[in-house]
């Protein structure tokens, strides 16, 4: 298949004096919870996918600056750490990519729990990110940390890396020195915009002395740190040429700290949202400038380069989701890309690990092989079987995909006239359009794989007798759970899923019963259509089933659009109101014309029991077992597909 000529710009080489890249894509740094062999397999798989350059996740330069993502946190703190990286570096380079180590000290983003000592920072100013107040570094300690970075860079060079990236963004130690919010020092490391950069300049200068000119040095920094009273784009435009003069070969721009109040990661942030920042920096320097953030589509990437906003495109979560993103783009198979949905499931899992959950680890909601690349999970089946999958949602299609790749003969039944299941409604609410990526990917897989899809057909007893499957997989989804509330059968009462089909005439005022994800998203859907909406939730808070990376932004939007009553029970639904009760048993009427029920989903186990008596393998996956997140459904389905 011929690729679109618009993409040619993405595959032009980029030459620097000490590094040549085969195309304009690089893997942006992402911290993981992986042990070294697992990390090596993970990165090498992305290199096989034709990305030109891979940047490792944060690699510690000093024991007092570890970010706290587990015992396997990569480090180049001593010469003994060099040998651990050499196999990883060779694996990536042998797979066709260059690789650089991102060097970091977390500063006040470390925690005393992880360090077993008080974290350090430029000044003793509390962190909203950790809730702790760090100890101020002395001048001598800061001098030592300059050398710690430089020595770690030399170790990276000895390990075979093609360069390094110095992490001066996101709220970690170097960015703490750069910011007037966190740097109140009166020694040589404090002062105005350029004086606060002395720490970074010193690191660059000492590093260049150690590694020489034939070693690529990149600096990642926030073009805006998005902190109140923090560093602005104007400051960065002043700063950028001095970073280059101090020794940087490349600049990698980002958009804010972890504790910033500007959303940067969720799907309600537009694609390519931060390329304009790179464009402004690119105007004042003569080295390559890269951009990253919400780039999950090659057309977005090509447009950024065509407009001259950046020289390199960073892919972070996009490569977690699909290691072959670049190769598929190069081959003209963009319709086969498993595009990131920006659901932030990956970040939620990392945050759980940082907070001490030993069972948590980096995962992707729709790539169940993430972190397991070296296990060879999709193996040819020892015995080819006739497999029937009932249900064409993500779980059903994932089972069908995996089983087909293993050589089984697969037939998928879907009673509706299109594939996708409930996800077809999940991308209807405001700011949820990226979830359509899930349906698009799986539908395309169903088209290109050697399997049969039978739309608009239920799987019946007659079909069972005719096909005589060796294995039967139920992925028939879930149904809405209806509570026993007086008045629930009235004509003005609808379910959330009925509302999201957008064919219900909803009147001016609405009460939504249930403040979970489905409830609040349906409420926002209605509010954006001019309805006056009140959400009623029994729990103390709404959206408790939403991950923390997205939840705060969702709640900020909802607070401006709808009314929310928490710790409130529904007693009765009347013709023009809903009767509710607060924790003190005080009752009141909430006026409304329409009532929406969003009290959860229940499994479809009733469909399964009759066929468990048959002489065939029976599996149940996805919401058919337990309604939950797409991530759970896909992971469960993948395991079944590998097991049949």
Q: What is the DSSP letter of 75?
A: B
Burial of 63 (0-12, 13-18, 19+ CB in 10 A): middle
Contacts of 449 (CB under 8 A, 6+ apart): 400, 401, 404, 405, 410
| Closest alpha carbon to 536 in 591, 618, 467 | 591
The three-class DSSP label of residue 347 is helix
Phi then psi dihedrals of residue 250, to 5 deg: -145, 155
Cα(358)–Cα(33) distance, integer angstroms: 10
Cβ proximity of 424 and 384 under 8 Å: no
Report residue 633 as tokens. 């459904």
The angle at the Cα of 586, spanning 583 to 589, to the nearest 5 degrees, equals 115
Phi then psi dihedrals of residue 25, to 5 deg: -105, 135
Strand order in the sheet with 617-620: 452-455, 409-414, 386-390, 471-474, 617-620
Cα(420)–Cα(443) distance, integer angstroms: 8
Phi then psi dihedrals of residue 610, to 5 deg: -60, -30
Cα(512)–Cα(500) distance, integer angstroms: 13
Cβ proximity of 518 and 545 under 8 Å: no
Rg of the chain in Å (alpha carbons): 27
Cβ proximity of 287 and 249 under 8 Å: yes
Q: Is the dihedral of CA 161, 165, 171, 176 positive or negative?
A: positive
Please identify which residue in the block is written with the tokens 């490569």: 319
Catalytic-role residue among 109, 129, 172, 442: 172
First to last CA, the chain: 33
Cα(410)–Cα(425) distance, integer angstroms: 26
172 is catalytic: yes
Phi then psi dihedrals of residue 433, to 5 deg: -60, -30
At 639, which helix (H) or strand (E)? helix 630-643
Cross-strand bridge partners of residue 617? 471
Cα(11)–Cα(52) distance, integer angstroms: 9
Q: What is the DSSP letter of 322?
A: -
At 474, which helix (H) or strand (E)? strand 471-474
Task: Centre a 10 Å sphere on the Cβ of residue 8 and count the other Cβ atoms it contains.
Answer: 10
Helices (H), 377-515: 394-405, 423-426, 436-448, 461-467, 496-500
Cα(140)–Cα(148) distance, integer angstroms: 12
| Closest alpha carbon to 513 in 421, 559, 581 | 581
Report residue 174 as tokens. 């170097």
| Closest alpha carbon to 417 in 476, 388, 377, 457 | 457
Residues marked as catalytic: 172
């Amino acid at each position: 298949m011929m690729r679109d000529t618009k993409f040619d710009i993405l595959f032009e080489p980029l030459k620097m004096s000490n590094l040549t890249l085969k195309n304009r894509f690089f893997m942006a740094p992402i911290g993981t919870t992986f042990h070294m062999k697992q990390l090596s397999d993970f990165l090498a798989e992305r290199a096989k996918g034709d990305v030109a350059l891979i940047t490792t996740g944060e690699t510690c330069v000093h024991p007092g600056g570890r970010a706290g993502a587990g015992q396997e946190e990569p480090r180049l703190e001593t010469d003994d750490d060099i040998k651990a990286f050499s196999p990883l570096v060779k694996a990536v380079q042998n797979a066709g990519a260059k690789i650089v180590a991102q060097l970091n000290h977390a500063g006040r983003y470390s925690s005393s729990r992880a360090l077993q000592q008080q974290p350090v920072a430029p000044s003793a100013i509390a962190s909203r990110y950790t809730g702790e107040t760090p100890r101020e570094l002395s001048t001598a300690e800061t001098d030592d940390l300059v050398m710690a970075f430089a020595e770690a860079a030399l170790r990276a060079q000895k390990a075979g890396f093609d360069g390094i990236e110095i992490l001066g963004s996101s709220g970690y130690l170097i960015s703490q020195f750069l910011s007037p919010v966190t740097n109140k020092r009166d020694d040589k490391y404090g002062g105005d915009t350029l004086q606060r950069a002395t720490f970074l300049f010193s690191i660059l200068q000492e590093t260049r002395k150690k590694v020489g000119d034939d070693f690529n040095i990149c600096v990642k920094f926030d073009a805006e740190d998005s902190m109140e009273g923090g560093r602005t784009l104007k400051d960065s435009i002043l700063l950028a040429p001095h970073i280059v003069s101090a020794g940087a070969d490349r600049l990698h721009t980002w958009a804010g700290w972890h504790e910033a109040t500007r959303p940067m990661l969720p799907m309600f942030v537009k694609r390519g949202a931060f390329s304009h920042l790179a464009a402004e920096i690119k105007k004042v320097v003569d080295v390559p400038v890269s951009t990253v953030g919400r780039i999950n589509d090659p057309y977005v990437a090509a447009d950024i380069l065509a407009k001259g906003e950046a020289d390199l495109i960073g892919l972070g979560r996009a490569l977690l989701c699909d290691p072959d993103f670049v190769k598929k783009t190069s081959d003209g198979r963009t319709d086969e890309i498993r595009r990131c949905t920006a659901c932030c499931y990956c970040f939620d899992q990392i945050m759980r690990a940082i907070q001490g959950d030993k069972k948590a680890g980096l995962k992707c909601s729709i790539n169940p092989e993430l972190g397991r690349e070296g296990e060879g999970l999709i193996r040819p089946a020892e015995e080819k079987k006739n497999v029937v999958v009932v249900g064409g949602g993500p779980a059903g299609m994932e089972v069908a995909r995996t089983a087909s790749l293993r050589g089984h003969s697969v037939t998928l039944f879907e009673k509706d006239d299109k594939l996708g299941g409930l996800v077809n409604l999940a991308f209807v609410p405001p700011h949820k359009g990226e979830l359509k990526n899930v349906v698009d990917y799986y539908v395309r897989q169903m088209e290109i794989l050697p399997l049969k899809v039978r739309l608009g057909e239920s799987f019946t007893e007659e079909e069972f007798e005719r096909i005589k499957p060796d294995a039967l997989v139920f992925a028939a989804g879930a149904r809405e759970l209806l509570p026993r509330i007086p008045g629930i059968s009235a004509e003005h009462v609808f379910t959330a899923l009925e509302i999201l089909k957008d064919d219900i005439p909803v009147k001016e005022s609405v009460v939504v019963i249930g403040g979970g994800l489905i409830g609040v998203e349906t409420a926002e859907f209605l509010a954006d259509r001019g309805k006056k909406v009140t959400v009623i939730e029994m729990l103390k808070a709404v959206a408790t089933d939403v991950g923390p990376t997205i939840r705060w932004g969702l709640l900020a939007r909802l607070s401006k659009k709808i009314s929310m009553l928490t710790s409130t029970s529904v007693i009765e639904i009347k013709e023009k109101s809903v009767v509710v009760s607060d924790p003190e048993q005080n009752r009141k009427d909430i006026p409304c014309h329409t009532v929406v029920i969003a009290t959860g989903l229940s499994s479809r186990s009733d469909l399964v029991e009759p066929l468990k008596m048959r002489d065939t393998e029976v599996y149940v996956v996805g919401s058919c077992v337990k309604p939950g997140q797409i991530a759970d459904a896909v992971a469960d389905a993948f395991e079944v597909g590998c097991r049949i």
